[in-house]
Amino acid sequence: MAVPAPARQLDILLAEDNDADTFLTMAAFRDARIPNRIHCVPDGEAAIAFLRRTGEHSEAPRPDLILLDLNLPKLNGFKVLESIKADPELKNIPVVVVSGSDRDDDIQRAYELQVSAFLVKPLEVDEYFAAIRSLKQLWFHAASVVPRPDSQA
Domain that holds residue 88: 10-141
Residue 13 has pLDDT above 80, yes or no: yes
Torsion, Cα 32 37 42 48, to 10 degrees, reads: -120
Q: In this structure, is residue 38 part of a structural domain?
A: yes
Give tens-digit pLDDT for 73-96: 999 999 999 999 999 999 999 999
- Tell me the CATH number at 96: 3.40.50.2300
Q: In this structure, is residue 5 part of a structural domain?
A: no
Please tell me the total count of domains within the chain.
1
What is the model's pTM? 0.86
Q: In this structure, is residue 89 part of a structural domain?
A: yes
Q: In this structure, is residue 149 part of a structural domain?
A: no
Phi, psi dihedral angles at 144 (to 5 degrees)? -90, 135
Q: In this structure, is residue 4 part of a structural domain?
A: no
First to last CA, the chain: 26
Q: In this structure, is residue 63 part of a structural domain?
A: yes
Give tens-digit pLDDT for 44-83: 999 999 999 999 999 999 999 999 999 999 999 999 999 9
